[in-house]
Structures are given as structure tokens and as C-alpha cells.
Amino acid sequence: MKTVITYGTFDMFHTGHLRLLERAKQLGDKLIVGVTSDDYDLARGKLNVMQNCQERMESVRRTGLADLIIVEEEEGQKQLDIRKYKADIFAIGSDWVGKFDYLKEDCEVVYLERTQGVSSTDIRKDRYPIIRIGIAGSGRIAERFLKESKYVSGTEVYAVYGRREQHITDFAHKHEIPVTSTDYEHFLEAVDAVYIAVPHHLHADLARRALQAGKHVLCEKPMALTQAEAEELYALARQKGCILMEAIKTAYAPGFGQLVRVAKSGLIGHIAAVDAGFTKLVTNTSLREYDAAQAGGALTELGSYPLLAIAKLLGTRPVELRFQTLSSATHHVDIFTRVHFTYPGAVATATAGIGVKREGDLCIAGTKGYIYVPAPWWKTEYFEIRSEDSSKCRKYLIKFEEDGLRYEISAFLKRISGKTDIESSLSEEESVFIASVLEQFRKGTNVHYLAAGI
């Protein structure tokens, strides 16, 4: 008996997929089909997959061609599967010619001709039209957004808005963006969705105006500086039938999602403490991070990340909340702030700094062990379960692609297209919680000021 094995994503299953499986089946007596897992697709940067793994496996099963369907979960699995199932032939589409020649030491490798004129990309365009995104802002984060957006199908950056005409004209020319405008309403008319990347104090107003115009909104953190503002924006989004997402990239990354699942699985017992920090030394004090008028400061700039981890792991209803902060007397912004939380049965600290540096790690302490995530934990690629019983120690490695904005862009497009099963996404409740913490700090509620004159 000759065994054939093949692999694919099989998203939006179409005639081309069917023909490929038929040709693979004809090569032998038994056909094994590997379907990529959702996490593996994310980890390798394939972020335009519209169907989850179970849906794609069901599409393959319905063909009646597969004798066995397996899940491909990691790089290097193909060679292990070939040996495990004693496959005689590895078959794959001809657009991969040469890519898998290394498997020839284990079996015959056959590159099958693809069905011409049929592609998942074309089908995806028909079912899910291209979303024209406009960028409000043309600064550092907007540059990174443009670079990352190229890894996500189904979107086109079509317009840019800003207050300085020459600046946005230069930005648009550099990135080949068709439309520029210093008039926000005119800008909104040209797009389906808006990515807001302006200084913090402008976020809520631009998000509100976009939603009122019926546009989907992906807004940089912090989306709002008060709880009432955040609640108002989400209510408006529901009223207008629009998607509103706060762009905390960590929330949508595969590694962070797995970290949260493992932490809540019971492997480390009851979570008793969470300590998360994010600091960076911003030495140029002319930047917005040091501008109080633009809602600068350590906690508004970086605090959303450790607050996200605490919200995900311990929830959004602490029984006590207090702050310790070190401020700049010259610029009137905090350069280092630590937030202390008390929960029923647990405590937590969130640390943010722009003028004080500490290790940017995350530690989740449990009654049976703890999870350690080294810096930069907000780009979760690696974490460990540590236990006094060495047999229970575990190490996890999950790829985080470059700057990571592609994960939030992908989640945004999936939500627009009606997908709601995004495991590690940021919930409305968590987003409002983050805004409420920032609001309390900015009002001076339970804040202990450590020093001044720096």
C-alpha cells in the first residue's frame, strides 16, 4: 500500500483545492491531509485566513478523499509526520517547487500543478470586499502600521489625515497613498474604516466622529482617558453597527493568547499575584511623551500593556487600587508609576516608566508554581512554567512576527467581516477598565507622589 501525504490551509475551499486533493489521491492508495492550525497560521504570519481550523478540516472531510486528516501545528512537523505515518509520497502544489526538496531523504516529493484561474485570494475578494482604511496621523506608529498592513490581505491603506498639509503629502507620496486631507470629514468620506494614530488626547474625539459617520474604528491606545468616554464610544459603535477596537497589539498576538490560556488552565493553581512592567528611556523630552497637554507621561504611554495582562488574568473588578508615581517637575508628567491592585484572593502591580528603567518582564504567581515571561513580555514569544517539582516545568515558544501590529489589523478585518471567535481579543469590559484606571490616576485619586524636581 502506497501512502500519500499533503498539507494546506484549505481556506475558502474551492475547485483548486479539490483538484489538488484528487491528484494527490491518484498517486497512491491512502491519502493523509494535514490542515494548518489557527495558531500555526498566525505564527507564520498568514493572517488572511477567514475560516477556523475546524471549518477547514470539515471542508476537506466532505470531499471523501482523505483517509486521515491531521492538524499541522508547528514548523518541522512535516518530516516527523512522514516518518510517523510511513508516507511514501509527499505531494504539494507546484507554486512550492523546490521548497520541500529537503524531504526527499524520507520520501518521494511530487509538485502538483495548480488549477489555473482559481485562488483563495480571488474568492476572498468576492465574499469579503477590500476594506479601504484611512490613517489619522502620520507619525512613528503610522509608519509601523503601514509596514505591518502589507502582511494582511483584504485591506488597502487608501487615505491619510493630518493637520499639517505638507507633512501628510510627503507621507502619502512616500507610501503611495492615493488620498490626503486636512479636513477630517472629507477624509472619512474616502474610506470604510479608520486607524487612529494621533496624540492620546485626540483619540476619543476622532473615534467618535468616525463612528458617527458610520466608519469602523481601530484606535491606538489609550482609546479614551475616562471611563465615561470609553463607554460612550462603545455604545455609539453598537448604535451605528460599527466595529470599534482598541489597538493594544499584545491582546491579539498568538503567544499572549496562549499564555493567558495556560495561566488559567490550573497548571499553576490559583493565580495569587501578577506583576507586569513596561519601561523605556525616552531621552528626547521634546516628544509628546513629555507633553502634559497631549496626555503624555509613563502610564498613559505604556500602562495599557501591564493593565491588559492584569485584566486578562485577574479580571476588571479590583477591590482596591492605588498609585505610586515619580513625576517630572519640569514637564509635569509622570516618568515612573506603579499601580497596586487588590482582588479577592489576589494582588497585582503594573509598572510603567519613560524616565526610569526596570526589567520588562511578567510574572504570574500561583499556588502550584509560577509563569515567567522575560522582556519584552508584551511581544510574547517565550514563557516558562516553573515549579519546585522539575517534572512539571514547561517551556513554550511561539513566534511573534516583527512589530506585531499585523495581529490587531487581522483581528479588525475579521470582526468587520463578521468573525467574532478571536480568542485573545480585547473585550469592551477590559478596554473600559483600562480607561477607568488611567482616569483615576489623572484625577489624583489614591496617588502617592514620590518626588518632584526631576
pLDDT digits (tens, 9 = 90+) for 287-332: 999 999 999 999 999 999 999 999 999 999 999 999 999 999 889 9
Q: Which residues contact 126 (CB under 8 A, 6 or more apart)?
A: none
d(CA 382, CA 296): 31
Phi, psi angles (nearest 5°) of residue 341: -115, 140
- CA nearest 278: which of 363, 358, 187, 173? 358
| Model pLDDT, residue 50 | 74
| CB distance 276 to 377 below 8 Å | yes
d(CA 54, CA 438): 40
Average pLDDT, the chain: 91
- For 124-159, what is each residue's pLDDT tens digit? 555 557 889 999 999 889 999 998 988 787 788 999
| 346-353 and 382-386 strand pairing | unpaired
291 and 437 housed in the same domain: yes
| CB distance 100 to 78 below 8 Å | yes
241 and 390 housed in the same domain: no
Domain holding 280, by residue range, is 251-451
Tell me which H or E stretch contains 277.
strand 271-279
Query: Does residue 16 surpass a pLDDT of 70?
Result: yes
Whole-Å CA distances, 320 to 339, 365, 446: 10, 19, 10
> Mean pLDDT across the stretch 396-419?
87
End of a domain among 247, 269, 304?
Answer: 247
| CB distance 146 to 135 below 8 Å | yes
- What single string gives the DSSP state of each residue in 364-403? EEESS-EEEE-SSGGG--EEEEE-SSGGG-EEEE----TT
190 and 309 housed in the same domain: no
pTM over 0.85: no
Q: Which three cell numbers stand for residue 431?
A: 478596554
Q: Which three cell numbers stand for residue 66?
A: 482523505
Reported confidence tier of residue 44, pLDDT bands at 50, 70, 90: low
Which of residues 415 and 227 earns the better pLDDT score? 227
- For 45-79, what is each residue's pLDDT tens digit? 666 677 889 999 999 999 999 999 999 998 889 99
Query: Does residue 261 surpass a pLDDT of 60?
Result: yes
3-state secondary structure of 175: helix
| Model pLDDT, residue 121 | 53
User: 3-state DSSP: the chain helix, strand, coil percent, rounded to 5?
Assistant: 40, 25, 35
C-beta contacts of 122-126 below 8 A and 24+ residues apart: 123/12, 123/14, 124/11, 124/12, 124/48, 124/50, 124/153, 124/154, 125/154
Whole-Å CA distances, 224 to 88, 197, 347: 58, 13, 25
- Which amino acid would we find at residue 109? V
| Model pLDDT, residue 421 | 56
82 and 126 housed in the same domain: no
| Model pLDDT, residue 118 | 47
- What single string gives the DSSP state of each residue in 286-297? TSGGG-GGGT-S
Taking the mean position of all CA atoms in its chain, how far away is CA 34?
25
Whole-Å CA distances, 272 to 206, 310, 363: 39, 11, 11
405 and 279 housed in the same domain: yes
| 320-328 and 333-343 strand pairing | antiparallel
Reported confidence tier of residue 338, pLDDT bands at 50, 70, 90: very high
Query: Does residue 7 surpass a pLDDT of 80?
Result: yes
| Model pLDDT, residue 43 | 64
241 and 255 housed in the same domain: no
d(CA 416, CA 323): 37
The structural domain count of the chain equals 3
| Model pLDDT, residue 156 | 86
130 and 150 housed in the same domain: yes
Tell me which H or E stretch contains 299.
helix 298-302
> Mean pLDDT across the stretch 6-32?
92
- Return the axis-axis angle of helices 405-416 and 140-149, rounded to nearest 10°: 70
End of a domain among 82, 115, 148?
Answer: 115
Which of residues 114 and 8 earns the better pLDDT score? 8
Phi, psi angles (nearest 5°) of residue 451: -165, 170
239 and 387 housed in the same domain: no
Query: Does residue 117 surpass a pLDDT of 70?
Result: no
3-state secondary structure of 18: helix
Query: Does residue 454 surpass a pLDDT of 60?
Result: no
> Mean pLDDT across the stretch 87-91?
97
| Model pLDDT, residue 123 | 52
Whole-Å CA distances, 438 to 118, 131, 196, 348, 445: 50, 32, 19, 16, 10
| CB distance 158 to 189 below 8 Å | no
Domain containing residue 146: CATH number: 3.40.50.720
- Return the axis-axis angle of helices 428-443 and 227-240, rounded to nearest 10°: 150
134 and 199 housed in the same domain: yes
- CA nearest 412: which of 196, 181, 120? 196
> Mean pLDDT across the stretch 390-419?
88
| Model pLDDT, residue 341 | 98
305 and 335 housed in the same domain: yes
| Model pLDDT, residue 434 | 98
| Model pLDDT, residue 155 | 83
Query: Does residue 453 surpass a pLDDT of 60?
Result: no
Query: Does residue 362 surpass a pLDDT of 60?
Result: yes
356 and 308 housed in the same domain: yes
| Model pLDDT, residue 409 | 93
End of a domain among 115, 145, 180?
Answer: 115
Query: Does residue 6 surpass a pLDDT of 60?
Result: yes
| Model pLDDT, residue 14 | 82
Torsion of CA 14, 15, 20, 24, to 10 degrees: 100
Reported confidence tier of residue 270, pLDDT bands at 50, 70, 90: very high
> Mean pLDDT across the stretch 359-386?
97
Radius of gyration of the chain (CA): 24
Selection from 6-15, 213-222, 255-264, 326-335 with the highest mean pLDDT? 213-222
414 and 352 housed in the same domain: yes
- For 165-203, what is each residue's pLDDT tens digit? 999 999 999 888 999 999 999 999 999 999 999 999 999
